[in-house]
Amino acid sequence: MIRLSIFDNYPTSRAGLRYTFCETPDIQITGETGNGADLLQNLQQAPADIVVLGVNNNRKSKSFKTVRHVEITRKIRSKFPDVKILAYANQETDKTVRQMMREGASGFIGQREANERELERAIRQVAAGGTYVGQSDR
């Protein structure tokens, strides 16, 4: 069983990710939020193997101001070293994603390439201990 927690600023993005895996028997959604502090609390209460961390370039977002994505990555790696992070970004060349990878994220997938099959493949590869770099970023 792969336990998955979803972080994204946008409720519709979180709902889409949740729907994508609602019928996948060996992937369980253990939490979802759009706030960095809540994510850390959720991981404490409902452990996950992977965090799918949505990266948006909307600097006006409330949760972006609360805890930046690179800081979230650093905090997850520090407090939950066994949890893997898959960046799910709206721009394949986003420098934030590159910084997240340097801080310990296990992979990256662009939202443009992330059909259900490719997203599941990325999650499984990261869950198995691998690194995933999206097709458009290779």
136 CB neighbour count, 10 Å cutoff: 12
What CATH architecture applies to the domain 2-133? Answer: 3-Layer(aba) Sandwich (3.40)
Q: Please state the length of the chain.
A: 138
Vertex 103 angle, CA 63 and 98, to 5°: 80
| All structural domains of the chain with their residue ranges | 2-133
- The answer for residues whose C-beta is within 8 angstroms of residue 47's C-beta and 6 or more apart is 3, 30, 80, 83
Lowest model confidence (mean pLDDT) among 9-13, 26-30, 108-112, 129-133: 108-112
9-51 pLDDT tens trace: 889 989 999 999 998 999 999 999 999 899 999 999 999 999 9
78-101 pLDDT tens trace: 999 999 999 988 765 567 777 888
